[in-house]
Structure 1
Amino acid sequence: FGCPQCRYVTDRKNNLKRHVSTMHQECDKLLECCGVSFKNKAALRDHVLLFHSNGYLCRFCGRNFCRKALLKRHLAVHSGQKDFLCGHCDYATSHKSNLERHKRVH
């Protein structure tokens, strides 16, 4: 069974039906990447392949990340936002893993 809208092929009709509904029909939730919104996952996938095949670049320091979520986490370093606070002292950090490591000193 082949998808009429892309190159996806499967040996099960149910898989094709799920593929079409998740990739090609409009999404209920907002799909966004670098300030651009997309109506379906296929459009988002095409954008990522075209513009982010070499990763996601930090516009402040030029560091490159293989996943958008890693870039998003990294951006907290530049914003100075520190959402993870120690309950025993005044230590604060932008990364949960740093707080977990810090807690071992108490």
Structure 2
Amino acid sequence: PNMDFPEPKQLTGCTRRPSTNKEYGAPKRHACPHNGCIREFQNKRSLRKHLRVHNPRDHMCAECGKAFKESAKLKRHFLVHTGEKPFPCTFEGCGKRFSLSFNLRTHVRIHTGEKPYVCPFVGCRKKFIQSNNMKAHLLTHGKANMSP
């Protein structure tokens, strides 16, 4: 039979395809309410994550064009362009400043000696200031001797 299918560019609505992840084959109860979208999800969390594809990002950086859903995240991002570092280290003689409070909190551990990230391998007592340093360290271990 002669069937006329629209060209891909003529399709409207959501064009995202169902993935083959853990949702495959499971009963799907949460349908996307977006007009034209046929996606369904087995839990609300997955649906909420999917809904982001339909929501425009209203807050755009005039400097580089990067877009954000929240104005607060745009303001934080803009510090990259201004070079502003509003978070000073208060330890005497340090003088370092940071654009993000998270980076200041991590830096302060240098002064306090706090190392909250502990290697989980049996017999290894190494501790780290930053989680990424611990992750790099974990690569030096084999899979044996991992604590439960």
State TM-score, norm by structure 1. Answer: 0.47
Higher relative contact order (CA 8 A, sep 6+): 1
* Greater C-alpha Rg: 2
State TM-score, norm by structure 2. Answer: 0.34
